[in-house]
Structure 1
Amino acid sequence: MSPLSPSDAKPSTPFTVGLTGGIGSGKTTVADLFAERGVAVVDTDLIAHQLTAPNGIAIAAIRAEFGDAFIDTGGAMDRKKMREYVFSDPLAKQRLEAILHPLIGTETARAIAQANGHYVMPVIPLLVESGKWQQRFTRILVIDCDEQTQIQRVMQRNAMNETQVRAIMAAQATRQQRLEAADDVIVNNAGVDALAPQIERLHAFYMSLAACH
């Protein structure tokens, strides 16, 4: 899960490019390609996994709020059970977000401050939905693709049916909302080979801006 609010996070001073996109748009692939070029990538999904892993700092609060049924035998949050629960109950989703989002915001801010690279690229799936993360980054980069491509990718990757994928998409910002929030856009309809020239162009652009930041 990704934060709706940066909470206690302080504004970052490095040159930062907030990367976002809908489910199945290819955020991880693009972030990995930027990382290969020396960019410091901060993955908020990874931070969320760490918080909800065995002995993660969110586990005690999740157990207290939702009960042992949502903690698996290894001591981590049962992500599948929790995902099904919060999708069926908006209030449960808000309760979980109230636990996770402040923690994710704090850990993201710490990671940005400690990052070492040409510039910093936080990956925040719900960046546009938050309404608060946007002003904290120098640029917003949106990974865009057509909706049918999104659906096919997620169905293949996560073994979901189309109805399930569309339900997730419906809970996210629309494609148009993300594009309106973007300073820069990478189109990811055609696979990795089509990404390289777009990434090279933007990386050179960001390097020039970071040098003046």
Structure 2
Amino acid sequence: MTYSGAVKVGGPAETHELPDVMISKVAVGPMNNNAYLLRCRATDEQLLIDAAAEPHTLLTLIGEDGIGSVVTTHRHGDHWGALREVVDATSATTYAGRYDAEGIPVPTQVLVEDGDTIRVGRVELTARHLVGHTPGSIALVYDDPHGHPHVFTGDCLFPGGVGNTHDDAAAFTSLINDVETKLFDALPDETWVYPGHGDDTTLGAERPHLAEWRERGW
């Protein structure tokens, strides 16, 4: 099946097959969250991004091989609703941004700073700290040596705009500044974007609208 990046709650996962890593995306309810399972082709080690909800769905996706780690992109409860059950079942190491870990009730074993590397087998992800949606949100960048980058943005970037900052002008300015400098200025148009909710996009599809987003303030 060709990967589309469009999945629905209750529907099947889709897998984006890259040369060194397989990225499986599944949607879970009740808030239509995306969870992403990365599997290193060389070692079969797995990492989960956002144990959002529906632990049975996530554990079925993970399968018998388990996971070595689970990364929570930010502190909001719809992104860690199944974290306790997943960690209890897999003994995975927990990662989260340093400034959001205190808001996640499952203890974070590895506090992530801007620029830190998180590994899944031989695959490396670079964490980028994006401030505004929450104080400690992180995005994860995979710079595919065989092609274009891929970035998991949590709730900081979606098709059509940045994440919700609840009419806080300072938070919005912080978030769009970080998204511009750490993602749009650093990565090419071909960069594939995997958001915390909804369909995938690319930086190239969103780049022409940055000024419009700034003007509208959300």
TM-score normalised according to structure 2 size: 0.29
Higher helix share: 1
Please give the TM-score of this superposition, normalised by the length of structure 1: 0.29
The structure whose Rg is larger is 1
Q: Which is richer in strand?
A: 2
